[in-house]
A and B are shown apart, each in its own frame.
Chain A
């Protein structure tokens, strides 16, 4: 598990995310699943941003907005350290 997460998280192939510490579950969309996989494998934000741009064929602004939004939600849910 990547050190970025505050407890052990596992995601199914359908994007169903389970927090082993709290028992809470979340459903991730395709972009969320893509970012989660990269975070899980320890990739940095700059790398994730580049991958988002090429994988989803979007502008840097769009990709950055999506990534920031994903980080914000993870923080609000207490899934990554503040």
Chain B
């Protein structure tokens, strides 16, 4: 069946969005039979210009423009291209897609994303509480809603500790002066609450997971990041065969009622060997293309789930498969950028109507 899939998150620069990886997975092992529609926030989102990946690119409004603006734009694109499935890939746009999920479905556009109450539970501000309630191993954490709570929290946790912004950024603190400095920096940038967390000597692992509507794990690729950028993003990694990582991920996601894709971040305490959940990102990771090498095509699995199919769990991911991220320069005519800037769309293939006539 020829299906048209729209994907967001096309900007793959120094902090790459997952969309390009997702699209490359859809084209694996052979080119996607239907059309791939790129949904970009800016005419210079890099992935638009990676020839052969997209059939069409459209600009969409930023999530802070509100759900109605996005809905209007998506329905316009739907009229042009008939979108069967949308795969949103950015944290920031998830709330608006959750809000639009039903109306999109009513218009014939399917998504397969986690429900809002569940993504609220795993927010940085709520995760420690959730883990305590569900008996999920998690480093000792204090969520600071008032600067007056800092001293007592630091005394309870002890040094070294991690201080984290509510959305991004984390720093190691070895003394009170570090705490004071980074607390102010994070408060000014991201506001409150701020998270203080016991720093444990550990190794970090990530597991990209996909759960069905019953929160059963259908596919999972565990990795170790082997090289990081200065922003802490993976530029090299290797897939693993690790029962504890898979069992812990499956248990957590089942307990909290997850559906759809996510990236589970887990620390292994190097002293005790215990595994601790550290974060759940409610989307595919930027390294998702690695899953094709491990014989688990998780984005294709999400398309099947979005369409209401009942896929069986995938065979365990193959271990010892690596990726290395490599930046290249893409060259294109100026009118590509002109089309996107002035018209908000760019077509590499014929549209739905022209193709039907042809």
Contact = CB atoms under 8 A, between A and B. Distances in A.
Interface of A: 7-8, 10, 18, 20-24
B240 A21 contact: yes
Contacts, number: 29
- A contact patch SS: loop
Contacts of B240: 20-23
> Chain B interface: which size bin?
10 to 19
Contacts of A21: 240-242
Given A7-B242, A23-B240, A24-B224, 4 more contacts: A18-B320, A21-B241, A22-B203, A23-B238
B223 interface: yes
Interface of B: 203, 205, 223-224, 226, 237-242, 268, 319-320
Nearest to B224: A23
A26 B239 CA distance: 16
Contacts of B226: 23
A65 to B, nearest CB: 28
Contacts of B319: 8, 20
Contacts of B239: 23
B74 to A, nearest CB: 39
A18 to B, nearest CB: 6
Nearest to B240: A23
A78 to B, nearest CB: 8
11 contacts: A10-B320, A18-B320, A20-B241, A20-B320, A21-B240, A21-B241, A21-B242, A22-B203, A23-B226, A23-B238, A23-B240
Nearest to B270: A78
Contacts of A8: 241, 319
B268 to A, nearest CB: 8
Contacts of A10: 320
A30 B207 CA distance: 35
A24 B268 CA distance: 14
Between B237, B268, B320, the greatest number of chain A beta carbons within 10 A of the residue's beta carbon is seen for B320
A2 to B, nearest CB: 16
B115 to A, nearest CB: 33
Contacts of B268: 22
Contacts of A24: 224
Nearest to B273: A78
Sort A-B residue pairs by CB-CB distance and give the 7 closest, nearest first: A23-B224, A20-B241, A20-B319, A23-B238, A21-B242, A23-B240, A18-B320
Nearest to A23: B224
A27 B239 CA distance: 19
A20 B242 contact: yes
Contacts of B238: 18, 23
A22 B224 contact: yes
Contacts of B223: 23
A18 B319 CA distance: 10
